[in-house]
A and B are shown apart, each in its own frame.
Chain A
């Protein structure tokens, strides 16, 4: 990570710096990611482990080409993070894996779920909710305000389209996206779960000056 990129992460909020250490998630954030895996395991009844994690900065106009198959049918569960840790999170999994997971959680034979109705979507919503809430629970500090995620939104589309939706939600004055990417291995699934946690882009100098002025009043 360059000094510029590190500044991008650390200046986006007074809360985020505690969660980064150079090019790596801080020990606190790493523990939080393990807590996410534990919570997802408890929810799904399937062993889920952290396979890898990294801090990455990706050009906004090249999110989809960064993946080998941007046309892969994918589920994205999208949540906004709370005011004290402003940002977004999206949990992505292959459509076939999502169907298999839904079958497992509904305790129906494999292959039973063919499409996503309200019930099936609610399982995926809850997966995103538990995932992001577990992360926020683990990083929350007593002196911080509550870290509440938004209700989840489930997207069913090509991976590239989901990534475009994420890119569109980023402030337009940014040309790159800094994020924490965590890959989870699920025992029963052939592919990986991918979690992106995206701090809000840094505020401009004017906003930061206003914020500091407010803090001194």
Chain B
């Protein structure tokens, strides 16, 4: 009986012209977004590899130069993207993907695609994530809103029950039928997502990440299927159910994410760029907590070095004091950068925590945030990249200054041989594991489950109370 009801439900859904049209439109969108994702990724990845190779070749080709001069010349850290980044853009259009790493400075990431965009980018990107997590639920709503309500309106439900159909078989049959219809309509999207995942290789976990995105899409589709069934069971008319469900969808997909982040922004605003650079300039001069100046700190370290070598004058040192001084200055600067950028990042993380909690009002936002984590396009992955780039910067700048200290005595004019530059390896960001990517997203995972279980419970509750007449 359940199978018969499910089959009937499936047939009816496909005979509905609107459902076919929407399914076809979504299939086109899925295909377009998959093709676009692949094309953009190939182009940007090629650009990144070329720029990476070119800038490192320029580093090797510096010729004879003072090592600290080379530290000023600097290197670049490029953030790699997988094709999954085009399935869920996350922060990637707005966060920079390249950082200039140079002596004395912790620079912000540059090359934000959004800065060259125009009005239309405010409408979002046509990504697979958007299609699967935001647009596919609409198909579900169109297919599911009339499952109970339309049959009640037309009197079919009364006839079915009068014919002796067990209510539980109707409930499960309709649920299965609606689910099967949705799965059939979304098959092209699933195939596109699988292809996208297969050609990507983020640390060998492409399959797991693609599967997670697929699971999120499945959870979203099931959640909206349950919501549609539940609302359809309780609504007086199919039209009323449709209006309510589309309202929920609009609020969930378009309104809630923006409102949530606006509240988060008001609650945890980062300092302005001007305030940050003024504070860095101030604290590079003197520590605000102790009042000790960098000049005094460098003098203390110099005296300690003189004592260590048992000499009375700088000229008597067997090493180049400049190299040491430059590294001590880096030590001082690093503490300032850790403090100032640490607080700035804490404000941004504060926004993320607020967004995670308030985002539970919508079934879409937690899923999108998790999808961004799976694609390594979330704020945390951006911060991991920048932190890794900064560690690399500190290491190579120290290495260059130490080289200067070790290979010269009064080496302000010392130049290293061109062969030396190859000893500084290029920046290679480590691929984060899926577990590492997902660690900060417990609230979102709970949110996705909460909506799935909650909507299933609601559908079950509403379906079991379904009556042949509107209440």
Does A pair with B? no
